[in-house]
Structure 1
Amino acid sequence: MQVILSHEHADFDALASLLGAHKLFPDALPVLPRSLNRNLRDFLVLYGGQLPFRDAASLPREPVERAIFVDSQTAQFVRGMRPETPVCIIDHHARERELPAHYRYEGEPLAATTSLLVERLARCEPALALEALEATLLLLGIYEDSGRLSYVGTTARDLRAAAWLLEQGARLELVDEFLRHPLSPAQSRLFDRLRAKAEALQVHDQPIVLACASADAGEPIEEISALAQPLLDLWQPAGLLILVDLGGHLQLVARSRSDRVDVGGLAERLGGGGHRRAAAAVARHGDLAGFRAALLAALPDFVQPPIRVADLMRPDPETLSPELSIAEAETRMRALGHAGYPVVEAGRLLGLITRDDVDRAIRHDRHKQPLREAMRPGPVSVHPEDPLRRLRATMLTSGWGQIPVVDASGALVGIVTRSDLLRLWNQEDGP
């Protein structure tokens, strides 16, 4: 007997990966984890009878010849497994540890494990047939783990896998139904409590929100992780830490919106795990105050300062005098080749002039007018120590594609352009 297993508190990527692996290895039985997220349970109530999943208790009393772990590098052993049972791991997370000799790791850093399996399905010869329900479940796995193909870790391969599933008949209205599930009454009450008690922290100048609360005594709370996205949407921090006292234990749910905040490392320090953008930890002993203190003590080790204007700006930019004629400015611009120039008088920034501004003035026969008549006036600038979010906001409100950088005295020290921002998209830490 062969089995396919995944992690507890299974999400749609785990469930879809069980199905995808079974389609590739039809002799292997896809075994449901003991604990499933609520939206998965709802999905299986409606559609589970049409899918090949098995409960662990219903497995034959046979030895397990091979186990396939999907979307996880560990799993609860099932009946028939032994410590030496060969294991194949198919996962989109980086390998977490050195593996025993009888383990084999097959993983790549895509947004979802389902994407890896769908790529294999699409390459099968002869072509594998998918039912519309199967294609929909596989698409749910990709969409949930990629934030509907919007998270930073989403790749072109994830999009191609999703497109192939749509070609196989995946139903987007069903995907939307199960990804947009409302909070339960208990979750809503806990959400209100977390929102009321949230603290706004600055750690290495990164905005972090820490929300701690206790659940109502005797009231089970499922899927605290479901509260993370609404809280992220509310505050838009670089990192979000949710810490809840559930009576018998404490649970940490951590999310990051920046590669400069590593919640996976933080959770691992506290006995949990995950990856840089999403992680969790459980403490069976201790109290909320003690765990909060340990969390705050460890947090600075996993937060890097944000990229600042000084890291991006071009120092000592070329400037133009406001008394220069528009014709002279055109000549200078052609020689220097830049798209925009600060206009400076006696060391004071007066505004900005661009090639478009000069070309427009020349088309209206304003060659002899001084530059101050065509420039964009105003004290639009940023400081070297400003974070990039301030720079982006300044570009959006002003409409300027080149923003002068001034020091505390108002003296011009640099310039930042849209091109400088775009270069960051090719780096690990995008703007």
Structure 2
Amino acid sequence: MNKKIAITHKNPDFDALASAYAAVLLYGLDSIVTATSYETSVKEYMTTEDINLPLVHYKEKDIENIDRLELLVITDCKLENRLEPLQSLIKKADKVIIYDHHPAHGEDIQADEKYIEEIGACTSMLVHLLKDKNINVTPVDASLLIAGIYEDTGMLTFTSTTVRDMEAAAWLLARGADLQMISDYVKREMSRDHVFMLNELLTNMSLVRIGAISIGLSDASSDQYVGEISYLAHKIMDIESLDALFILVRTGDRVVLVGRSRADEVNAATIAYHFGGGGHPTAASAVIKQQTLHEANSKLNLILHEVVKPVKMAGDIMNFPVKSLSVDTTFAQAIDMFMKHNLNMMPVVDGLKPVGMVSRKDILQGLKHELNNEPINSIMQVEFGSVEPDAPYYAVEELMLGSNQKMIIVQQSEELKGVITRTDLLRLMHEEISKMPRYQDGRLVKNEVKRFKNISSSVMSVMPDRVVDLLHDIGRMGDEQGFKCYLVGGVVRDILLRKNNEDIDIVVEGSAPAFAKKFAAKHNARVAVHAKFKTAVVIFPDGFRVDFATSRTEYYNFPASAPTVEDASIRNDLFRRDFSINAMAVKLNNSEFGTLLDFFGGQRDISDRKIRVLHSLSFVDDPSRALRAIRFAVRFDFSIGPHTDRLFKHAVSLNLFDRVIGPRMFLELKYILNEKNYTKALDMMKKYDMIRFFSKKVQMDDRKTALFEGLELILDWYSFQFEDEFELYVSRFIVLFWELDREDIGDLLDRFQLDDGKTKELLNNYIETKDVVNAVSRRNVNRPSYFTQFMDRLSTPCAVAASAVLGEQFEPYVKDYFTDYRFVKADIDGNDLKEAGVKPLMIYSKILSSLKNEKIDGKCLGRDAQMKRALVLAKELVKNG
């Protein structure tokens, strides 16, 4: 009984068979077990040559009858699905050893020993072990082993070939390997079937271009089995001079995928993996079952466009618009620019031409030597490397490392276009590395949150179709006009939270007003431009809005001041925002549609449910951000991050909120009071001692809590009973500031600096509500009409607020008022009074009001009774003057 065996992948080629035989020699195994047919050239070799290999062919019944194996050696494979139907032997073996040269995979077999090497042929690995252990190899053995090496390295010509492959081949040649045999079986002439299939593949060839990469795609069909399709792939690569090639061949009831690549950007193994196959970055294959040729072709096209990304160019990664210093800038002016924009190095220009570079460190040194008014050209670096926008990123990398420059200038026709820093290159490297699968013990390890990933599927599933179509159109227009366009801000956050948000904010790296005008013209919409801030809003005929802004940065001359705005890159644009969860963007240009940009950890903070500012002076720059932090915390049930919490308290201690302009304070309070969980927000404001910045007389005590609880009960009841909507903040505003007198509320509204109309409206709402509550509370309300005539003086939100303050004692009156009494009218009207000859007209309203009150109290019902009563009232009113 065979207790020590070697196995390899199904349909073994020369490398599979040779490496398995090398394992037999190395471990003294009983046999090589196979369960499928061999590659055509291997089958021909075995039937023609006089060899004596310990081969055993098992059927499924034979496999089932094996109870236990002492040792199982697997070569040229580490995926169970490529061992079919022999994979069940793994669990029956006391010890499993794997030798393979394919890249790590998330579904690698667990083994007691695993030897994985980046090498052209798996056989080469074992030949080196045979050599090290001085194991005797006959010329016949050497011929088989070298066939395995030559086949998988393309006669030592493939780019995957290593020095160790060549050393292994040389050692075998020294032991009598027969090169004629290799010529007969490895480098073969094409058969008649191969010629026909090659012709079909060349005829069906199409070219896909992704960036500068040319990828050939072709397919063919044959009802008969055709082996060695990979050989045809090599032929086509040579004929067409392609960067990469993928062919699909239907043979019988299965489709075979073969991929070849000479481009680093096209990993053939990654493509094959999506079809259940594998291999190397340069050569891979897969057997596709239960798919038609058409279905496999469609899937292949989708995967290629998803996986293959063109090489990044300098223009793709450079910072622009770039901040620069004029050649005649003084040291004092330069340090101001460095501090204002938080930069460590800047290019120096003469007009538009870059002529040097200068660092903040050098400027500071010059200031120590009192060179304040000297021009910086005296110390600038005049020897520097530069690239053009179409230079590949690796050229930038080589230049930066070779010249030890911290910054590379990007120029074209002696005009400054941008700069690339070491941080930019590190960010690019991290982006690429984060896309790679990570493995531990052969198993896929989940990557941390990717800062750059594609969320187009989330965009399409969360956003309405109309919005998705508009975003695609913005991306296409950006491509046409040479602008990069991004979806930014809260809408990106809400996409990740799976919440609908149709507040569409677009940032354009270019002129947003110019872009918005063309977009509006295309969609028959109107556009409003704010030239000072380089923004625009496009308003569609149905009122739907899209906001456009030029990518910009901003800085504050003093705490809470209005920001000064300048053009900047998308990263700087995002950095000026309030919190990490709001500082993400989605690329809209066609080639990268749906790519998420997360420079500042927004995804992580969403996952951790934290509100976090982007820098330590965030609340100093704009203290109103603290109110927004509270609002977002209660809306999403997030907490304030520890560092942000400390900065929050420091801003309060410095009384920075006194510097916030009134309209901004009012707007942020309004937003908070419109939140569902606004009472939690008010509790947080109390915790941080922020209520005092609105009024020091406001008391957030148990009574106020009870008032808000009563208010919410009435609002819930009202929304259930009626469909009309009103601004909730009005009711809540009145209750929040209930203890203020007329002078106090006037001072508060003056602080808000609203327009006269809005100030008057809020003041009247507050005073009228207090007057009604005081009037009703002081008197014995024993008639519904008495309660109604006071409540009718109030708007709905004010009436709701008054009801909350009046409390449970008046609940029956409140509910009757809202459901019935406020809708009651007299059964007669002014026309009836006029026909009856009632004069003068000025008393009509008093008569009708009295009739309404009597009707509410159930005293005067019906038109006839009311008409009689009206005539009596008219006489009394005329008599009393």
Instruction: Place the TM-score, normalised by the shorter chain, in its bin.
Output: 0.5 to 0.7
**Does structure 2 conserve the Cα–Cα contact (< 8 Å) formed by 1:135 and 1:166?**
yes
2:122 aligned partner? 113
Q: TM-score, normalised by structure 1?
A: 0.67
Which residue in 2 is equivalent to 1:133? 140
Structure 2 residue 272 is matched with structure 1 residue 264: no
Alignment partner of 1:193 out of 155, 177, 200: 200
**Quick one: structure 1 residues 246 and 43, their matched pair in 2 at CA, closer, same or farther if it must change by over 3 Å?**
closer
Residue 174 of structure 1: aligned partner: 181
Q: Give the CA deviation at 1:122.
A: 0.5
1:299 aligns with 2:304: yes
Whether the 8 Å CA contact 2:41–2:185 is kept in 1: the answer is yes
What CA distance in whole angstroms lies between the structure 2 residues aligned with 1:173 and 1:100?
Answer: 37
Contact 1:90 1:113 survives alignment (8 Å): yes
Q: 1:188 to 1:52 in 2, by over 3 A?
A: same
The residue aligned with 2:24 is: 22
What is the aligned counterpart of 2:293 among 269, 288, 291?
288
Q: Counterparts of 2:413 and 2:164 in 1: how far apart (Å)?
A: 50
RCO higher in 1 or 2 (8 Å CA, sep ≥ 6)? 1
Give how far 1:266 is off. 1.4
C-alpha separation in 2, matches of 1:96 and 1:30: 25
Structure ranking higher in helix proportion: 2
The whole-number CA distance in structure 1 between the counterparts of 2:390 and 2:88 is: 61
Query: Are 1:51 and 2:53 counterparts?
Result: yes
CA contact (8 A) 2:72 2:90 kept: no
Match of 1:83 among 77, 86, 91: 91
Q: Equivalent of 1:276, from 268, 276, 281?
A: 281
Q: CA deviation at 1:152?
A: 1.9
Q: What runs of 5+ residues in structure 1 fail to find an aligned partner?
A: 312-346, 348-381, 389-406, 414-431
Alignment deviations for residues 78-99 of structure 1 (CA, whole Å, 9 cap, x no partner) = 5993624232111112332365
Compute the displacement of 1:184 (Å): 2.3
1:234 paired to 2:239: yes
Kindly indicate whether residue 185 of structure 2 is the aligned counterpart of residue 183 of structure 1. Answer: no
Q: Matches of 1:115 and 1:136 in 2, distance apart? A: 13
Partner of 2:384: none
> Hey, what's the Cα distance between the residues in 1 that align with 2:149 and 2:241?
23
TM-score, normalised with respect to structure 2: 0.34
Q: Kindly tell me: are residues 185 and 81 of structure 1, through their superposed partners in 2, closer, same or farther at Cα, counting changes over 3 Å?
A: same
Maintained 8 Å contact 2:98/2:114 = yes
> What's the CA shift for 1:299?
0.3
Secondary structure at the counterpart of residue 50 of structure 1: coil
Q: How does 1:306-345 map to 2 (within 5 A)?
A: 306=311
1:240 Cα deviation from its structure 2 partner: 0.3
Mapped to 2, the partners of 1:276 and 1:89 lie a distance apart of 20
Shift of 1:212: 1.9
Matched position secondary structure for 2:218: strand
Task: Give the Cα–Cα distance (whole angstroms) in 1 for the partners of residues 248 and 261 of structure 2.
Answer: 15
- Give the distance between the partners of 1:387 and 1:191, measured in 2 at CA: 35
Matched residues in 2 for 1:100 and 1:176: separation? 35
Of residues 249, 255, 272 in structure 2, which corresponds to 1:250?
Answer: 255
TM-superposed deviation, 1:115 = 0.8
Question: Aligned residue for 1:331?
Answer: none
Q: 1:23 to 1:187 in 2, by over 3 A?
A: same
Q: Does 1:64 align with 2:72?
A: no
Q: Which amino acid aligns with 1:262?
A: N
Pair 121,242 (structure 1): closer, same or farther in 2 beyond 3 Å: same
The Cα shift of 1:46 comes to 2.0
Residue 141 of structure 2 corresponds to residue 164 of structure 1: no
User: 2:220 aligns to what SS in structure 1?
Assistant: strand
Distance 1:137 1:33, change over 3 A: farther
2:214 is aligned to 207
- The structure with the larger Rg is 2
Name the residue aligned to 1:422: none
Matched length: 324
Deviations 1:236-282 (A, max 9, x none): 21110101233523222111112211121112123332221122233
Do residues 97 (structure 1) and 102 (structure 2) align?
no
1:11 corresponds in structure 2 to 13
- Taking only aligned residues, the RMSD between alpha carbons, in angstroms, comes to 3.3
CA contact (8 A) 1:206 1:305 kept: yes
SS of the equivalent of 1:188 reads: helix
Once the 2 structures are TM-superposed, how far is the Cα of residue 4 of structure 1 from its aligned partner? Answer: 0.2
Cα separation, 2, equivalents of 1:33 and 1:259:
36
- Which contiguous aligned blocks of 4+ residues in structure 1 show a shift greater than 6 angstroms? 58-61, 307-311, 407-411
SS of residue paired to 1:182: coil
**Unaligned 5+ runs, structure 2:** 317-352, 354-386, 394-410, 418-881
1:45 and 1:193 map into 2 onto residues whose CA distance is 30
Instruction: Kindly provide the amino acid, as one letter, of the partner of residue 83 in structure 1.
Output: K
Q: 1:101 to 1:140 in 2, by over 3 A?
A: closer
Correspondence 1:377-392 to 2 at 5 A: 385=390
The one-letter code sitting in structure 1 at the alignment partner of 2:219 is: C
Q: Return the offset for 1:157.
A: 1.4
Tell me if structure 2 keeps the 8 A contact 1:6–1:71. yes
Equivalent in the alignment of 2:460: none
SS at match of 1:200: strand
**C-alpha distance 66-208 of structure 1, shift in aligned 2 (>3 A):** same
C-alpha separation between the residues in 2 aligned to 1:81 and 1:226? 32
Q: 2:127 is matched by which residue type in structure 1?
A: V
More off after superposition, 242-251 vs 96-105 = 96-105
